[in-house]
Amino acid sequence: MAKEINETFITAECITEFDAVHPRFQPEDEAVALRYQQEHYYFCQQCNLFFAPTVTGLKVHFKGDMVKHKTCGSCFYCQGPVYEYSINSERKVYHSCKRSS
């Protein structure tokens, strides 16, 4: 009897959909998805890429491993690079200052 229960469970588990490219997981309207990204995500014009609106997202994006960004200026205190990004068409800058307070 235990074998039958396991086989039934495995069969049911195999038909469960996990694939993120399944049509159910695709946005119905690309304009809606784009508008949501424009309103809620940070945008880098140099990369033409949206990224997570968190401190971690900023650090990972401008870390330099993936893409070498052009600086929009330098820090007054440590002369380190300053980068530009935007959210809701509002210009913002990011800098990880090496000078401790």
Q: pLDDT value at position 62?
A: 82
Output the CA torsion 15→21→25→28 (10° steps). -130
C-alpha 101/C-alpha 85 separation (Å) is 25
The model's pLDDT over 24-63, given as tens digits with 9 standing for 90+, comes to 766 678 888 788 888 888 888 888 888 888 888 888 888 8
Amino acid at 8: T
pTM recorded for the entire structure: 0.56
C-alpha 24/C-alpha 64 separation (Å) is 35
Q: Band of the pLDDT at 69, cuts 50, 70, 90?
A: confident
